[in-house]
């Protein structure tokens, strides 16, 4: 690894440690979720019903760590902060792994 | 901007899967031609960066949250086709592992954030930059690249949300998927981004651009390639 690459990885690591800001700031400023990303219950409060198709499709996949949170619904802020950093690390590792696999497959095909 | 499962009808998410697949195929082909071993770490870092930056939810006090995507700066640094791959990989992991964005909506989310955004950002950068080799013009080009790229991606997302009531409704006349019409979804997505999150994206883009132009100018794709 070159010196400048090392610097960039350190930068990304620092960014990972800062990711909890993404859960702390919205809480502090009493901001809700993103527009169009409501859960079924939230949507029912907004429009008075849960669209049929949406209900069906939204149950299709249960992510292992929904919302970058390992503590489940009602997790304390501390758990969410730790979950965020852990998710960031898992995310970096996962994407790097996928990229290296893709790169390897591409470069191997070359020969 | 990560569309969850259930908000898009199959009539919408299937074609968008098709569109993203086409772009992935071309991007991989281009990557195969141009990728050298020494660039692989940068590709991995780009995907990691995009993953992380999307976790920084920016609040609109008392309102919604949103975030930057990083596709603009990645397109400027590594080229739009490389950005397609880097941001797509990050979005796919987000959907599968963290439920951020639906499984059925992977095609749509990749189309908006990993195809539309990097290309728009890249074109805006090239257009504003013109022949400038330094100075304020480059910074303005970088800012607008991020700003316009994310805004157009948000408009595409708002459009996809907004056409759902037109596409599918149940026997009772209620929409089956995303319930808000275009007249609500489009301005909601466009305005919250243009007034807030896109500014963040622009600032992130210009700061990183300045860093790389200063320390790693040899790496910056948009500064060395004559034509896109």
Is the domain of A21 the same as that of A37?
Answer: no
Residues B56-80 have a mean pLDDT of 96
- The alpha-carbon radius of gyration of chain B (Å, integer) is 18
Closest residue of B to A55, CA-based?
B6
Question: Shortest CB distance from A55 goes to which of B6, B55, B161?
Answer: B6
Give CA–CA dist B93/B19, Å, rounded.
19
Assign a CATH topology to domain B10-224: Arp2/3 complex 21 kDa subunit ARPC3 (1.10.1760)
Binding-face residues of B in 149-178 toward A, CB within 8 A? 157, 161, 168, 170, 174-178
Q: What is the pLDDT of residues A18-67, one digit of tens each?
A: 999 999 999 999 998 999 999 999 999 999 999 999 999 999 999 999 99
Q: What is the pLDDT of residue B134?
A: 82
Give CA–CA dist A110/B205, Å, rounded.
34
Determine whether the interchain pair B35/A106 forms a contact, defined as Cβ–Cβ distance below 8 Å.
Answer: yes
pLDDT for B226 beyond 80: no
Full residue range of the structural domain in which residue A23 is found = 1-30+68-111
At B228 the three-state DSSP class reads coil
Mean pLDDT for all residues in chain A = 93
Q: What is the pLDDT of residue B228?
A: 43
Q: What is the pLDDT of residue A55?
A: 95
Is the domain of A110 the same as that of A83?
Answer: yes
Share of chain B above pLDDT 90, in %: 87
Determine whether the interchain pair A88/B49 forms a contact, defined as Cβ–Cβ distance below 8 Å.
Answer: no
Is the domain of A42 the same as that of A91?
Answer: no
pLDDT for B196 beyond 50: yes
Determine whether the interchain pair B97/A91 forms a contact, defined as Cβ–Cβ distance below 8 Å.
Answer: yes
- State the residue for tokens 């700061």: B207
Per-residue confidence band for A71, with pLDDT thresholds at 50, 70 and 90: very high
Is the domain of A74 the same as that of A110?
Answer: yes
Domain tally, chain A: 2
Q: Which two tokens stand for residue A12?
A: 């990304």
Is the domain of A74 the same as that of A97?
Answer: yes
- Prediction ipTM score: 0.95
Chain A CB within 8 Å of residue B122 CB: no
Residues B17-36 have a mean pLDDT of 95
Question: Shortest CB distance from B49 goes to which of A12, A25, A87?
Answer: A12
Is the domain of A41 the same as that of A94?
Answer: no
pLDDT for B164 beyond 50: yes
Q: Which two tokens stand for residue A98?
A: 């996928």
């Amino acid at each position: 690894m070159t010196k400048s690459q090392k610097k960039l990885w350190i930068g990304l690591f620092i960014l990972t440690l800062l990711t909890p800001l993404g859960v702390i700031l919205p809480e502090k400023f009493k901001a809700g979720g993103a527009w169009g990303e409501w859960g079924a219950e939230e949507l029912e409060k907004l429009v008075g019903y849960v669209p049929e198709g949406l209900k069906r499709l939204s149950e299709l996949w249960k992510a292992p760590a929904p919302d970058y949170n390992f503590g489940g619904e009602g997790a304390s802020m501390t758990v969410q902060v730790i979950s965020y950093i852990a998710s960031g690390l898992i995310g970096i590792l996962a994407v790097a792994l996928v990229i290296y696999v893709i790169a390897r497959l591409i470069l191997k095909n070359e020969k | 901007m990560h569309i969850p499962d259930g908000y898009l009808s199959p009539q919408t998410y299937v074609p968008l899967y098709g569109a993203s697949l086409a772009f992935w195929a071309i991007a991989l082909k281009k990557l195969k031609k141009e990728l050298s071993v020494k660039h692989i770490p940068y590709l991995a870092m780009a995907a990691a960066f995009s993953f992380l930056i999307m976790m920084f939810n920016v609040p609109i006090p008392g309102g919604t949250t949103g975030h930057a995507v990083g596709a603009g700066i990645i397109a400027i640094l590594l080229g739009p086709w490389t950005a397609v791959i880097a941001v797509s990989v990050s979005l796919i992991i987000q959907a599968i592992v963290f439920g951020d964005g639906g499984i059925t909506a992977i095609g749509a989310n990749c189309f908006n954030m990993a195809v539309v955004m990097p290309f728009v950002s890249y074109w805006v950068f090239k257009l504003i930059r013109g022949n400038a080799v330094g100075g304020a013009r480059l910074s303005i080009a970088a800012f607008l690249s991020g700003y316009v790229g994310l805004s157009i991606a948000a408009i595409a997302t708002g459009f996809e949300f907004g056409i759902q009531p037109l596409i599918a409704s149940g026997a009772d006349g209620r929409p089956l998927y995303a319930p808000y019409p275009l007249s609500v979804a489009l301005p909601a997505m466009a305005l919250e981004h243009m007034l807030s999150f896109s500014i963040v994206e622009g600032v992130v883009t210009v700061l990183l651009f300045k860093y790389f132009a200063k320390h790693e100018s040899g790496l910056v794709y948009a500064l060395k390639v004559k034509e896109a």
